[in-house]
Amino acid sequence: MFRKIVVLTLLTAFSSSLFAASAEERAQTAIDTRQGLLKVVASYFGPIVGMARGQIPFDAAVVEKNAGKIAQLAPMLEDVFAMDTRASGLQSGAKDGIWEDKADFNGKVATTTERAIALAAAASQGKGPTMKAFGALGSSCKNCHESYREKDDS
């Protein structure tokens, strides 16, 4: 009897630590995935910032292409942030609000998608309208970061 209890206890402890490890791995994968997606978004956004700052020449074709890619990528933010990784205790820049107010988070994602589509459309209308649309897209990124991205600032 006693031996059975010991074995059962050990088995439970062992298997739960196995599950814990896999849960942590899953959470880490989710974190890596969403951070990776945001890096890809940034890589398409970067050249447009460079054009806005005058560091590289304005190129409507690049703006249209990159904004189009961002419009495809942005909706994926909703998917990659679907998994709540808070319980894992893993460090990431994601604030709790993402999962506490999912509707608002997804609404912000939708706004970004709309504005990326608008930027792609504005690209053919010249630099002025393009930069206005660029500002609108960037503000939607910023707006979401302010609500849901933890700055490492303490």
Partner 1 sequence: MSHPLSSTEKEVSSIKEVSSIEEASQPATTGTLVWDFPLRLFHWALALSLVGSWATAEAGFDWTETHFLFGYTALGLISFRLIWGLLGTFHARFHNFLTGPKAVIRALGQLKQKTPPGEISHIGHGPLGGWASIVLLALVMTQAVSGLFISDDIFYAGPYNSVVSSNLADYLGWLHHTNFNFLLAAIALHLVAVIWYLLGKKENLLKPMFTGKKDLKADAAQTVGHSNLLWRGFFIAAFVLAMILLLVNLAPEPEYF
Q: Which residues bind partner 1 (CB under 8 A)?
A: 42-43, 45-47, 49-50, 52-56, 135, 138, 141-142, 145, 149, 151-154
Q: How many other C-beta atoms lie within 10 A of the C-beta of residue 13?
A: 10
Please provide the DSSP assignment of 73-111 as one string.
Answer: HHHHHHHHT-S--GGGT---SB-THHHHSHHHHHHHHHH
Minimum CB distance to partner 1 smaller for 36 or for 46: 46
Minimum CB distance to partner 1 smaller for 98 or for 141: 141
Query: In the complex, what is the shortest distance from the CB of residue 19 to partner 1, in angstroms, rounded to a whole number?
Result: 31
Minimum CB distance to partner 1 smaller for 47 or for 68: 47
Query: In the complex, what is the shortest distance from the CB of residue 90 to partner 1, in angstroms, rounded to a whole number?
Result: 15
Minimum CB distance to partner 1 smaller for 23 or for 56: 56
Distance of CA 10 to the CA centre of its chain: 40
Contact predicate 130/60, CB 8 Å: yes
- Cα separation of 143 and 4, whole Å? 57
**DSSP bridge partners of 149:** 94
